[in-house]
Amino acid sequence: MVKDMDKRKNKVVLSLGGNIGDVKETFITVMSLLAKEVGEILLISPLYRTKAWGMEDQPDFLNQVLVLNSDLEPQELLKGCMEIEIKLGRVRKQKWFERTLDIDILFFNEEIIETSNLTIPHMFIHERNFVLFPIVDIIPDFIHPLLGKSMNELKKECKDELPAIRL
């Protein structure tokens, strides 16, 4: 994935999203908490702004992608991310609803994981510009373990019509 990552740790790619409150400030706080509780942040994409996906009558979202080294296993990672979301005011009302923060696990090493509460790789990566644009900025050649294509290839093939605007 990234050549200088510590081989003893898990290589994790996370997506951040939010559209309520001071999202830029929330992301700064998230990165601090992730570094303390989840793992070392190695790469940070630029911020992107997009219209809401799935439920359009709400404020625009800011999105960002991070690459980390983590000692956590997948379920521990999920728990840690959900706890950070709650600390920063996330309330789960309904799918695709406005939120202060959303942390999605996109990739965990090159593993394919399907449990009752966790699917990795995230099932919609290849369908969403708000994920593909920032991920291509930092790991364009990473190969999706299920689709067998690079992030750059997936971005070129994506049918999502919502523009992702780099800030």
Asked if 90 is an active-site residue, the reply is yes
CATH number at residue 25: 3.30.70.560
Residue 1 lies in a domain: no
Asked if 99 is an active-site residue, the reply is yes
pLDDT in tens, 42-61: 999 999 999 987 677 789 99
145-157: average pLDDT: 98
Question: Which pair of tokens denotes residue 11?
Answer: 């290589």
CA dihedral angle for residue 92, residue 98, residue 99, residue 104, rounded to 10 degrees: 80
DSSP label at residue 90: -
pLDDT in tens, 70-99: 999 999 999 999 999 989 886 666 555 677
Number of domains, the chain: 1
* Alpha carbons 67 and 3: distance in angstroms, whole number: 12
HSE toward the beta carbon, residue 89, CA cutoff 13 A:
14
The one catalytic residue among 4, 22, 49, 104: 104
- Band of residue 5 on the pLDDT scale cut at 50, 70, 90: very low
Residue 2 lies in a domain: no
* Alpha carbons 44 and 58: distance in angstroms, whole number: 26
Asked if 49 is an active-site residue, the reply is no
Q: Which domain holds residue 75?
A: 10-166
